[in-house]
């Protein structure tokens, strides 16, 4: 009896233990967001556990009901889902499948696991999970990886990827591809004037216009601020670059209307490179299109330029020169030369103009005409100009102390350098540092300084002049200048450009203009300096019309410091 009771107690304990585990499994399933379908092949039974009601509005009581699940997904997933739900027919153990529900923005993941015994299925579990949220997040990440969020066009990386695929196919299919790089003109002025939001809205509007132009033979990308790429497969007829660019220009004839009420007209320039003539891979093709786009901008607005080999060579030469120039700045490979200016009547040394020279790594002297335009374009003129300013003032302080020289040091100032907020304070600090009298220094500015924000420029000039520094207007007559606006400038000296001096002897019109300049400038109380005087005839003529000072090869070429020292000693 005791043995029987013991056996009964053990059986009850096992049953209770099984009941507890089953309750635990049921609790886990019921609190899960998943649904589970359990099939017992031996008992030929089917159970549904978990959050079934969130997935289906029908009952599932036997294996034939699994067909109902298959009918809920889109057609493209039905066959694969049928194979998965009846997995035992394939004799596989585990697999999963993602399916989109028919007519709903909902994704389900089905995972089927089967247990076999002696080659026959005995149990099957199908787990059903809602993956709509993660799917949507993945789609958003994928969109961000491929598309520009502002315009909906491709981003640069995806454009390169698709273009590379196009080029691979074009090579085998003997097709051509054109890449066009489009860039707004003066976009910075729009951002500065109306704000970044307005600028983004303008870019977005233009991007939508580009997107509406696209078809299966065209792709486009917004890559940087106001820059767009377009690629055209087999660019002929209505898909030719010229035709597409004409359509763009027609759109630009009308303003872009922004939400703030502004109507903005824009212009742009485009560069074009073609496969296989120009390059054989996507990055080279894009690079060539960008290079000629910048060349197009040099021609004006709304310009289209096709790639040519010499253009690319010039570009590479400029890149090389710019890199060497950066190295020269860091290695301090510049020197100053000085060109004397003389009083036309007395012949006394009025002063010298400091002129930068670049001695490259091989000791070869490079003319400023080669690197100054590049420095101004790249912004490198700012550190170069700062070096010239300090080096010139420091040298002048040495000469003043050693030779007691009484002359003016003229220093050229670039527009970019002048516009810096710290320019005036840095200038004053240098004069204080080297104990140089401001009246001995003359800053030469060109008309490019005066183009933007004239009133603010003039205000800064007044501060400099009030400090005692002389102001000289250089290259007068080569830009937009007129005699009428001179009265508004706080200048001391006006330099007559060499282009007038070159023809002043033989051309009567030039003589009339030159004499008018000298006469009026005298009445305004300014000094005059004639640049580029190379002949005795020019000198005598300028002396006759009472031009105050002469500068040029006739009286002295730009010279290194040691030659200038000899000159100062002689004049002393």
Q: Token pair for residue 8?
A: 């009964």
* CA–CA gap between residue 449 and residue 447 (Å, rounded): 5
Q: Give me the pLDDT at residue 322, please.
A: 85
CATH architecture of 32-135: 2-Layer Sandwich (3.30)
Q: Give me the pLDDT at residue 17, please.
A: 46
* CA–CA gap between residue 43 and residue 407 (Å, rounded): 114
- b/e per residue 525-563 (b: at least 16 CB within 10 A): ebbbbbbbbeeeebbebbeebebbbbbbebbbebbeeee
Neighbouring-strand partners of residue 229: 181, 221
> Would you state the torsion angle of the CA atoms of residues 325, 327, 331, 333, taken in this order, to the nearest 10 degrees?
-20
Neighbouring-strand partners of residue 184: 268
Strands 527-530 vs 107-117: parallel, antiparallel or unpaired? unpaired
Where do the domains of the chain lie? 1-26, 32-135, 147-307, 329-571
Task: Quickly tell me which residue has 């939508």 as its tokens.
Answer: 208
* CA–CA gap between residue 290 and residue 270 (Å, rounded): 8
pLDDT digits (tens, 9 = 90+) for 528-565: 999 999 999 999 999 999 999 999 999 999 999 999 98
Task: Using alpha carbons, list the distances in angstroms from residue 539 to 297, 545, 551.
Answer: 41, 10, 10
Ranges in the chain, pLDDT < 70 = 1-32, 477-485, 571-572
Q: Give me the pLDDT at residue 568, please.
A: 80
Which DSSP string do the residues of 321-337 spell out, in sequence order?
HHHHHHHHHHHT-EEEE
Q: Are 60 and 48 within 8 A, CB to CB?
A: yes
Given CA atoms 21, 27, 33, 38 in this order, what sign does their dihedral have?
positive
What CATH class is the domain 147-307?
Answer: alpha beta
CATH architecture of 329-571: Alpha-Beta Barrel (3.20)
Chain centroid to CA 10: how far?
80
* CA–CA gap between residue 430 and residue 393 (Å, rounded): 7
Q: Give me the pLDDT at residue 247, please.
A: 96
Coil, strand, or helix at residue 375?
helix
Which DSSP string do the residues of 9-49 spell out, in sequence order?
HHHHHHHHHHHHHHHHHHHHHHHSSSEEEEEETTTTEEEEE
């Amino acid at each position: 009896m005791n043995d029987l009771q013991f056996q009964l107690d053990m059986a009850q304990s096992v049953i209770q233990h099984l009941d507890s585990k089953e309750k635990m499994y049921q609790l886990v399933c019921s609190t899960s967001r998943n649904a589970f379908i359990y099939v017992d092949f031996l008992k030929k039974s089917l159970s549904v556990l978990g959050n079934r009601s969130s997935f289906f509005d029908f009952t599932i009581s036997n294996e034939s009901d699994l067909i109902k699940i298959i009918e809920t997904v889109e057609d493209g997933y039905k066959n694969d889902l049928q194979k998965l739900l009846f997995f035992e027919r394939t004799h596989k153990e585990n697999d999963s499948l993602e399916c989109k529900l028919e007519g709903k923005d909902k994704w389900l993941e089905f995972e089927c696991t089967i247990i076999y015994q002696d080659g026959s299925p005995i149990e099957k579990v199908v787990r059903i999970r809602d993956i709509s949220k993660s799917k949507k997040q993945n789609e958003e990440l994928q969109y961000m990886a491929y598309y520009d969020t502002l315009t909906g066009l491709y981003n640069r990386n995806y454009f390169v990827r698709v273009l590379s695929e196009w080029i691979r196919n074009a090579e085998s299919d003997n097709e051509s591809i054109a890449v066009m790089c489009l860039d707004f003109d003066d976009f910075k002025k729009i951002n500065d004037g109306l704000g970044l939001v307005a600028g983004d809205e303008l870019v977005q509007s233009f991007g939508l216009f580009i997107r509406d132009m696209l078809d299966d033979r065209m792709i486009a990308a917004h890559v940087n601020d106001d820059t767009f790429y377009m690629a055209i497969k087999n660019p002929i007829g209505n898909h030719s670059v010229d035709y597409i660019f004409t359509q763009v220009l027609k759109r630009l004839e009308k303003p872009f209307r922004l939400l703030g009420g502004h109507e903005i007209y824009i212009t742009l320039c485009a560069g074009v490179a073609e496969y296989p003539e120009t390059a054989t891979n996507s990055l080279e093709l894009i690079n060539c299109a960008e290079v000629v786009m910048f060349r197009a901008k040099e021609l004006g607005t709304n310009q289209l330029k096709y790639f040519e080999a010499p253009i690319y060579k010039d570009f590479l030469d400029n890149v090389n020169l710019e890199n060497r120039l950066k190295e020269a700045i860091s290695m301090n490979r510049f020197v100053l030369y000085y060109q004397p200016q003389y009083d036309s009547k007395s012949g006394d040394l009025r002063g010298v103009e400091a002129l930068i020279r670049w001695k490259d790594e091989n000791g070869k002297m490079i003319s400023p005409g080669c690197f100054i335009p590049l420095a101004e374009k790249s912004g490198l003129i700012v550190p170069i100009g700062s070096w010239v300013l300090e080096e010139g003032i420091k040298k002048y302080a040495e000469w003043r102390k050693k030779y007691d020289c009484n002359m003016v040091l003229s220093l050229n100032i670039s527009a970019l350098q002048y516009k810096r907020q710290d320019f005036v304070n840095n200038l004053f600090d240098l004069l204080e540092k080297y104990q140089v009298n401001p009246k001995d220094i003359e800053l030469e500015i060109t008309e490019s300084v005066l183009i933007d924000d004239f009133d603010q420029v003039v205000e800064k000039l007044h501060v400099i002049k009030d400090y005692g520094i002389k102001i000289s207007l250089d290259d007068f007559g080569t830009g937009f200048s007129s005699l009428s606006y001179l009265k508004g400038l706080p200048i001391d000296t006006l330099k007559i450009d060499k282009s007038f001096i070159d023809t002043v002897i033989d051309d009567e019109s030039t003589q009339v203009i030159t004499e008018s300049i000298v006469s009026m400038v005298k009445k305004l109380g300014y000094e005059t300096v004639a640049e580029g005087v190379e002949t005795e005839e020019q000198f005598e003529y300028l002396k006759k019309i009472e031009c105050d000072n002469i500068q040029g090869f006739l009286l002295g070429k730009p010279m290194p410091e040691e030659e200038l020292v000899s000159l100062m000693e002689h004049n002393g």
